[in-house]
Structure 1
Amino acid sequence: MKQKTFTKIFTDEKLPFLELRYSNNTKHYKEHIHETFSIGINLEDKSIYTNKDKKYDFDVGMIALVNPNEIHSCNPILETPNLYYMMFLDEKWCYGIQKSICDESNSFKAFPKDILYDEKLYNEFKDLCETIFSDINYFEKENELINFFTELFRPFLKESTSKIDDPIFEKSIEYLKENYKENISLEELSKEFELNPFYIIRLFKSKINMTPHAYLLNIKINKAKEFLKKGLSIVNTALECGFTDQSHFHRNFLKIVATTPREYQLNFI
């Protein structure tokens, strides 16, 4: 029986720098280029990955990386469809992430390898792709993208070690504390303080080693713990802390407190 093929593409106007393809097909591509930085994995079966003048037997567990304007192709070896994720990222966005790591960067630095053999990174990228296709809000998706690509680019950049002394940090902290019920995006924060969003990432990383979104999430969870101790219902606690729904609240509470909201509240009843 012939296996059904499909292609699903994720885009979001709130994440304009990103396109993600989830596909299962037998199509063969001619060598081509993208203006984006591209990264992909196979979930099933093998393919032949070519990048410039090199060819690789590309298998499950490997990560393919393609710098902007590099000629490449990736085609299945067998006649059966191979299942894969392929992500395309705007070069300027990637440069912003690199700049947040290394202040000396003045343009996008090409990734030094065509292929990676890294089980941990492979699984993290797979999880990231599943997260992007999930129904969680775009703030969380953006945060996961920032975290993953910071870790991907960091090893081959000269990381800035100097601490940034900027009074805007304390003001932005107060702003997040005052507006913890809101889901404040990186773009909104950058507009509020008239700063480059990637400078804000670097500022927060330099001061507290987390992204602004991760910090805001911690404020929300700490507020939630206060409400739960006072006996507020889990539903109302989630609403008071600005979570979009109960599952969103439950997932993030468990992630940070290592117990469910209900289990936590039972300690105080």
Structure 2
Amino acid sequence: MKKIFTKIFIDENLPFVELRYSNSNIHYKKHFHDTFSLGANKEGESIYTNANKEYLLKKNGLSIINPKVVHSCNSCSDILNIYYMLYLDTSWCKNIQKLINENVQEFVSIPVDILEDENFYYKYLNLCEYLFSDYTILEKENELIVFFLDFFSLYLERTNIVIIDEIFQEIVTYLDKNYKENISLETLSILFDLNSFYIIRLFKSQMNLTPHAYLLNVKINKAKELLQKGYSIVDTALECGFFDQSHFHRNFLKIVATTPKEYKLNFVQ
């Protein structure tokens, strides 16, 4: 019999999110949360009730639970389910929704109880595994923003945004000049006296990137220049402001589709 476990991800730097990873066939009573919740079985199947409706939650399905909705999700076999459950503060969700539709004033409840979509199912599993990994807080925040922009876009009509080019260019110039730093959304918000979610919206509208993704691209482009000039991988990572070689390696590979070592060896002047 498999050992029962429960792991919980929480971080004071990401106070709006809690993630539970567990295996269990314990049956829970119907209950509700103040948060918006999204769950999935990695293994096993469950009877999922939401308000007065009942579903079979199996692979490729995401349970969608709006705040204050009475629900339960219990294994329907003797096999231990392995599942993820993500709890998000509704204020944070509302701000993400507002990036999609500027008319959003309060959290918009999702009109369905379950999403059966293989693509989003695996995106969700990847996100959960990412949060439990040793990636940085800035990277984890970025992945949460990217996932939920895509997720909420399924249910919200997009609106146009009037771009203030001068402000956008000022932020871009600042990031270009200070690429060695690991600049957070909070830092940009304070420096430019703008709501952090508005800054995200500027970048998504102009470049379809988050500010963090833009900064990573600047760092990697600079790293490519240094590697071409013969800098060592260690010195390149330090010069471009990466936390360590592992941080540099995984981001270089993700953007360039090759490792720093391979790039350095195969680059032709």
Structure 1 runs (4+) greater than 3 angstroms displaced:
none
Question: How has the CA–CA distance of structure 1 residues 21 and 140 changed in structure 2, closer, same or farther, with 3 Å as cutoff?
Answer: same
What residue in structure 1 maps to residue 238 of structure 2? 239
What residue in structure 2 maps to residue 93 of structure 1? 92
What residue in structure 2 maps to residue 175 of structure 1? 174
In 1, Cα distance between equivalents of 2:162 and 2:155: 20
What residue in structure 1 maps to residue 65 of structure 2? 66
Q: What is the deviation of 1:48?
A: 0.7
- The 5 A counterparts of 1:212-251 are 212-251=211-250
CA contact (8 A) 1:22 1:86 kept: yes
Deviations 1:202-230 (A, max 9, x none): 11111111100000000000110111011
> What SS is found at the alignment partner of 1:22?
strand
Deviates more, 1:66-75 or 1:171-180: 171-180
CA contact (8 A) 1:38 1:67 kept: yes
- The 5 A counterparts of 1:46-195 are 46-195=45-194
What residue in structure 2 maps to residue 263 of structure 1? 262
Q: What is the deviation of 1:174?
A: 1.3
Q: What is the deviation of 1:26?
A: 2.1
What residue in structure 2 maps to residue 29 of structure 1? 28
Equivalent pairs: percent with the same residue?
Answer: 58
Deviations 1:111-160 (A, max 9, x none): 11100110010001000000000001011101110000000011221212
In 2, Cα distance between equivalents of 1:33 and 1:45: 23
In 1, Cα distance between equivalents of 2:163 and 2:111: 29
Q: Which structure 1 segments of 5+ residues have no match?
A: none
In 2, Cα distance between equivalents of 1:13 and 1:27: 30
Q: Which structure 2 segments of 5+ residues have no match?
A: none
One-letter amino acid of the structure 1 residue matched with residue 187 of structure 2: E
Taking structure 2 as the reference length, the TM-score comes to 0.97
Taking structure 1 as the reference length, the TM-score comes to 0.97
How many residue pairs match? The answer is: 268
Q: What is the deviation of 1:166?
A: 4.5
Deviations 1:11-42 (A, max 9, x none): 00110100000001122111111111100100
In 2, Cα distance between equivalents of 1:257 and 1:142: 22
Q: What is the deviation of 1:175?
A: 1.3
CA contact (8 A) 1:3 1:80 kept: no
Deviates more, 1:131-140 or 1:202-211: 202-211
> What SS is found at the alignment partner of 2:43?
coil
> What SS is found at the alignment partner of 1:202?
helix
In 2, Cα distance between equivalents of 1:97 and 1:242: 28
In 2, Cα distance between equivalents of 1:163 and 1:233: 44
What residue in structure 1 maps to residue 210 of structure 2? 211
